[in-house]
Structure 1
Amino acid sequence: MSPPSAVPTMPGQDAFGTIQEIVRILEADPGTDWSQVDIEALRQHLVDMNELTLNAKAVATPLDGGATYAVTGDGRTLEAIRRMVPAHAHEINGVNGWTAKTEPTTNGVVLTVTAAAPKETARIRGLGFIGVMAQGSHHQAHHLAMARGEFSH
């Protein structure tokens, strides 16, 4: 039996925990305009994140200065790819000296990420598709803005 002072801290599921954290932030902010709050939009975005992370297929092809990633999927995964990959490419374009762009395909998106610096080229290739998608510290602020009804893909 656990001592009485042991209290679990994990919410049991990452998307649930993210939503719980955002709700706590909104509740602590006296300026929250509850008429604009859209937690369902955040939930749908987190579903997209899961689809992209767990179900999308990404085939990397090295090229001078970086790589292309042919990202494909079906159904809900394809929808998530089409919403998230171009938006993220726009967000990271210029970060770390990278050039990031996308081209739509019939079953997904081709993401091309390049850099002039050889060290960054190695980094792009080492990160692979999902590592590139995880770049940047904008995700948390983006989730809060989405929940406040201020942003969507």
Structure 2
Amino acid sequence: MIIAKNIHKYYDTLHVLKGVDLHIQKGEIVSIVGASGAGKTTLLQILGTLDNAAKSDETSLTINGENVLKMNDKAMSKFRNLHLGFIFQFHQLLPEFTALENVCIPAFIAGKDKKETETEAKRLLDYLGLAERSHHKPNELSGGEQQRVAVARA
């Protein structure tokens, strides 16, 4: 599912990731642990295509059989929308939209049918115990409810 080879990342002269190799199979659960400043978040951002690794001929990042490092920005955005889901530590919900609308946004961006998208979003919110809160905006939800909306959106 994810094969990363020789991943490097620099911030000016600071070499944060020094040739990381990683192979994550479908269904496998992986933890990334390390000291503060070790590069855990940087690695996750690169694996999630939110940041770029230093490019070389020996560097590759293959997700679901696609070498995403060879994609242009538009193709990468489309790939990210269709194949990756993110649950951020601080939710990143859009405050002007309801829980239901926040869950629907990625599907709307992908051009999916509105009725089908809303039906699936309602199903997910119900599954996560948020059916009665679907029309509330993020500032009207508890932190735990916001996190569950983020899970449904992912």
Instruction: Output the TM-score relative to the length of structure 1.
Output: 0.30
- Structure with greater helix percent: 1
The structure, 1 or 2, with the larger RCO (C-alpha pairs under 8 Å, 6+ apart) is 1
